Amino acid sequence: MVKAVVLGAAGGIGQPLALLLKANPLVTELGLFDIVNTPGVAADLSHISTPAKVEGFLPPDDGLKKALAGADIVVIPAGVPRKPGMTRDDLFKINAGIVKDLAAGIATTAPKAFVLVISNPVNSTVPIVAEVFKKFGVFDPKRLFGVTTLDVVRASTFVAEILGDLSLSKDVVVPVVGGHSGVTIVPLLSQSSHPLPAGFAKDSYDTLVNRIQFGGDEVVKAKSGAGSATLSMAYAGAEFAAKIIRAVKGEKGIVAPSYVSVEADAAGGAALTKELGQELAFFSSNVELGTDGVTKIIPLGKITEAEQTLITAALPELVKNIETGVNFIAAAY
Ligand code: NAD
Ligand code: LMR
């Protein structure tokens, strides 16, 4: 039995994500919470002939608590998206408070759930959840994940495009590490399961890296004021959630990049810190998943000089983003 809960379930990501979770045969219960429209979304999804029982909740009458009761996995896409000209950090002012309150709800109602944070800026909202959980004495670093899967999905797609065969994209695996915004998104193309063509030019490499780092901006611009990536994010979020669920069900050897606390695996975290040459509380790296969440943080391994330069550029930004999240909670409690 697996209960999945979506917080922000009536939104641009929330609705298609809820649809994909409803389509996952391993999900037996689906709780949908938002400040608007969840009864309608739940009624609609509940007619789909898959196992999950669906229920929608709104804030009155302890709706958040009711949605979260018994949750095994909680996915959070609640919050405002970007408009053209904005950075993800510009969302902090509104989304930090939303994520803080939802985290408090999870801490009191479903403290053992696996928590998957989509709300931006992920580099700061994940530390917010961790700090709230610490305040409530329930922080388990193995169970908290920043969802960076969309960067991985984009990297697979763009590499397959370059290789001239989009049908490869489901098999192309490119570790994307660091964080989830601009220069903190670091694709390790040298470790791609499908190498770039021999003689791939330096300027083409730079263009590809830039497209992976700023893929979100491409969508924000194309939607011209109507929001940011929703459908590709729902796909990515459902893929990552499915991996967690399969791992929880006992499947071994599942590895995916995610933005996690370096405390999730002391040895792996220490090896990663050594590679980075500095301490960072959170970093996105490949992690191995098991029944209790993160079983291993997999260090970066062999990377190129160009990738090292990208990592070096990412670090100060990550330090700042993490601090912003931690300070927000320190001031709030
Ligand atoms: P949206 O505005 O379409 O939907 C957000 C939903 O959150 C709305 O339905 C809204 O009512 C709900 N909401 C607001 N406050 C809430 C609260 N306190 N409790 C519960 N629900 C609440 O936005 P969207 O396009 O779905 O994007 C949501 C977030 O996801 C944004 O912050 C966006 O930047 C982020 N995002 C992250 C990634 C990623 O890769 N991690 C990708 C795309 C978007
Ligand atoms: C993305 O990468 O598409 C998301 O983080 C949304 C955004 O603001 O770009």
E runs forming strands in 71-212: 73-76, 114-117, 144-146, 176-178, 185-187
Q: Is 88 annotated as a binding residue?
A: yes
pLDDT given for residue 287 in this prediction: 98
Of 39, 47, 40, 57, nearest in space to 22 by CA = 47
> Is residue 13 within 8 Å of residue 236, measured between CB atoms?
no
Compute the distance from residue 119 Cα to the ligand 2 centre, in Å: 9
How many helices and strands in the chain, by DSSP H and E?
11, 11
Rounded CA separation 29/58 (Å): 17
Give me the amino acid identity at 141.
P
- Per-residue pLDDT of the chain in tens (333 residues, 90 and over written 9): 999 999 999 999 999 999 999 999 999 999 999 999 999 999 999 999 999 999 999 999 999 999 999 999 999 999 999 999 999 999 999 999 999 999 999 999 999 999 999 999 999 999 999 999 999 999 999 999 999 999 999 999 999 999 999 999 999 999 999 999 999 999 999 999 999 999 999 999 999 999 999 999 999 999 999 999 999 999 999 999 999 999 999 999 999 999 999 999 999 999 999 999 999 999 999 999 999 999 999 999 999 999 999 999 999 999 999 999 999 999 999
Decide whether any atom of ligand 2 lies within 6 Å of the 294 Cβ: no
138 and 167 together in one domain: no
Residue whose CA is at the smallest distance from ligand 2 atom 7: 216
Compute the distance from residue 13 Cα to the ligand 1 centre, in Å: 7
pLDDT given for residue 227 in this prediction: 96
What is the tens place of the pLDDT at every residue in 278-287?
A: 999 999 999 9
Residue 244: its H or E element: helix 231-248
Evaluate whether residue 86 is within a structural domain: yes
Evaluate whether residue 332 is within a structural domain: no
> Is residue 128 within 8 Å of residue 134, measured between CB atoms?
no
319 and 289 together in one domain: yes
| Domain stops at, among 91, 118, 146 | 146
pLDDT given for residue 2 in this prediction: 97
> Is residue 193 within 8 Å of residue 173, measured between CB atoms?
yes
Decide whether any atom of ligand 2 lies within 6 Å of the 118 Cβ: no
Q: What ligand is nearest to the CA atom of residue 227?
A: 1
pLDDT given for residue 93 in this prediction: 94
E runs forming strands in the chain: 3-7, 29-33, 53-57, 73-76, 114-117, 144-146, 176-178, 185-187, 254-261, 282-290, 293-297
Q: Which domain holds residue 33?
A: 3-146
For ligand 2, what atom is nearest to the CA of residue 181? Answer: 5
Q: What ligand is nearest to the CA atom of residue 146?
A: 1
Decide whether any atom of ligand 2 lies within 6 Å of the 219 Cβ: yes
Report residue 295 as tokens: 């079983």
231 and 169 together in one domain: yes
Give the single-character DSSP code of 187. E
Residue whose CA is at the smallest distance from ligand 2 atom 8: 82
Confidence (pTM): 0.98
Compute the distance from residue 102 Cα to the ligand 2 centre, in Å: 21
79 and 203 together in one domain: no
Q: Strand pairing of 73-76 and 114-117?
A: parallel
Rounded CA separation 246/160 (Å): 26
> Is residue 133 within 8 Å of residue 144, measured between CB atoms?
yes
> Is residue 134 within 8 Å of residue 93, measured between CB atoms?
no
User: What lines the ligand 1 site, CB under 6 Å?
Assistant: 7-8, 10-14, 33-36, 77-82, 91, 95, 98, 102, 118-120, 122, 147, 150, 180, 227-230, 233
| Domain stops at, among 146, 167, 201 | 146
Q: Phi and psi dihedrals of 125, rounded to 5?
A: -70, -30
Compute the distance from residue 9 Cα to the ligand 1 centre, in Å: 8
What one-character-per-residue DSSP string does 77-94 give? --SPPP-TT--GGGGHHH
What is the tens place of the pLDDT at every residue in 251-260?
A: 999 999 999 9
Decide whether any atom of ligand 2 lies within 6 Å of the 123 Cβ: no
Evaluate whether residue 268 is within a structural domain: yes
Q: What CATH number did the domain enclosing 19 receive?
A: 3.40.50.720
pLDDT given for residue 297 in this prediction: 98
Rounded CA separation 100/215 (Å): 27
> Is residue 32 within 8 Å of residue 96, measured between CB atoms?
no
Rounded CA separation 162/37 (Å): 41
Give me the amino acid identity at 69.
A
Decide whether any atom of ligand 2 lies within 6 Å of the 232 Cβ: no
How far is residue 138 from each of residues 98, 141, 192, measured CA to CA in Å?
A: 19, 10, 37
Compute the distance from residue 80 Cα to the ligand 1 centre, in Å: 5
Return the active site residues. 180
113 and 177 together in one domain: no
**Number of domains observed in the structure of the chain:** 2
Rounded CA separation 106/226 (Å): 30
Evaluate whether residue 330 is within a structural domain: no
Q: How many CB atoms are located within 10 Å of the residue 327 CB?
A: 13
186 and 79 together in one domain: no
55 and 184 together in one domain: no
Of 140, 135, 137, 134, nearest in space to 112 by CA = 140
Report residue 28 as tokens: 């037996």
Q: What CATH number did the domain enclosing 302 receive?
A: 3.90.110.10
